Amino acid sequence: MRLEKEINNYLKDSNPSIDALLEYQHMVGGYRFNLGEEAKRAHDQAVIKENAYKVEFFRRKRNLIDQGESAAAAESKVFQELAKEREEYKLLEARYQGFKITLQTSGDVLSGIQQRISVLKKEQETTKHQV
């Protein structure tokens, strides 16, 4: 993932210049925006898949009950039949949660970059006034 690559590059750079920090800030911010859009899509897909699963689950369960199955037996049977669909929406939800964690972490990195930029600018100002 490009965002992770840029964050790793930033973390490896032990003494970056203000220009390098501004470049990291720009790159991380841009990739973070794109990841946010991807996270929204992943969340939407997970919600759609989950809702489709629930609709199908209750439809099949109702049909089995109408055919004479007990509610517990029908639920157990349908749960087993739809295990793959349930797993698919759980994976989509896990993907979304992973995006959220990456977005939170990258936000922390952006804050760190901004703080380093501020410190370096203040140091430059102090140096100019001392000369």
Look at residue 131 and tell me if it is in a domain.
no
Count of structural domains within the chain: 1
Question: How many whole angstroms separate alpha carbon 61 and alpha carbon 43?
Answer: 27
> Tens digit of pLDDT for each residue in 61-87?
999 999 999 999 999 999 999 999 999
Look at residue 58 and tell me if it is in a domain.
yes
pLDDT at site 67: 96
DSSP-H helix ranges across 67-82:
71-81
Of residues 105 and 9, more confidence is placed in 105
Look at residue 12 and tell me if it is in a domain.
no
Q: Which of 73, 87, 48, 78 is nearest to 60 (CA)?
A: 78
pLDDT at site 2: 78
> Tens digit of pLDDT for each residue in 90-104?
999 999 999 999 999
Which residue range(s) make up the domain with 63?
A: 2-7+18-122
**pTM value?**
0.72
- Name the percent of the chain lying above pLDDT 70: 98
Look at residue 39 and tell me if it is in a domain.
yes
